[in-house]
Amino acid sequence: MKHSGRLPRIGVVGYYISEEEAVGGHIRGIPRQSFSLFSNDMIHAIFQSGATPIPLPVVDRDKIGRQLDTIDGLVFSGGEDVDPRLYGEELQPTSHRIDPVRDKYEMELMELALERNMPILCICRGMQLLNVFCGGTLHADIGELADPTLTHWETKEPWRSVHPIELKPDHFVSAVLGGAQIEVNSIHHQSVKQLGEGLEVVGQSSDDIVEAIAMKERSNVLALQWHPEMIARKDESGLRPFQWLNQQATATKRE
């Protein structure tokens, strides 16, 4: 049943900066402080889409339930590589930074949010995290897999669409995102390898990189490899996944 009243509250995860990393006040503040950092693009996209963003800092498992009590939907955002040891592999020379503290928190957050049937949008690292949580694996680096004529790492103009993807035409993802073929930006060097249990591929690029996945038995979980929050800087089409999340969250939110 759809409820009126307040806007949906959308939780969003961010970076955890440990006190060791911040020695000397390199981030801001004083030495021996730790920090939680959240993408302004993500926060503003959630605001623009018609919801209220609620930043979720890393906490112990016994406090995650209290975090979930305050939100109606959840975004797992981009960031560091997911630790390959979580899916039975070792660090590679091409591995980017990993953060075991963030990994542990987000895996627990994913578990408890799914148990609550909470609407979830996963972006970039978030999609990879969902796949690993469901027992899947990742390509450590797509450099040897991807078509060199396609760009998968565009950071100079991160909002710019750089290649098309094909979406499953008879799936809700194509209706949500505006068609069976769309153009996306791209900032990732890893991708889904073995698909996790209960998931389905609903979007791919022409070089067979998995670009979107969903849960087979649920219509309120969607995972995207690109960054719609960055597209939204220049193009309102980037807001579509967040508007979908808001609709899902509004349908189940508590006053």
CA gap 230, 213 in Å, rounded: 20
Q: Which residues does 163 contact at the CB level (< 8 Å), separation at least 6?
A: 150, 151, 152, 183, 184, 186, 205, 206
Q: Which of 139, 152, 163, 227 is catalytic?
A: 227
Instruction: Note if 229 is an active site residue.
Output: yes
Helix (H, G, I), strand (E, B) or coil at 167: strand
Q: Could you say which DSSP state residue 91 is in?
A: -
Q: Which of 106, 122, 124, 211 is catalytic?
A: 124
Calculate the dihedral angle through the C-alpha atoms of 155, 159, 162, 167, rounding to the nearest 10 degrees.
120
Q: Which of 122, 139, 211, 229 is catalytic?
A: 229
Instruction: Note if 227 is an active site residue.
Output: yes
Q: Strands, DSSP E only, in the chain? A: 9-13, 15-17, 35-37, 52-56, 73-76, 120-123, 138-139, 163-167, 181-184, 191-192, 199-204, 210-215, 221-224
CA gap 209, 141 in Å, rounded: 11
Instruction: Note if 144 is an active site residue.
Output: no
Write out the catalytic residue numbers: 124, 227, 229
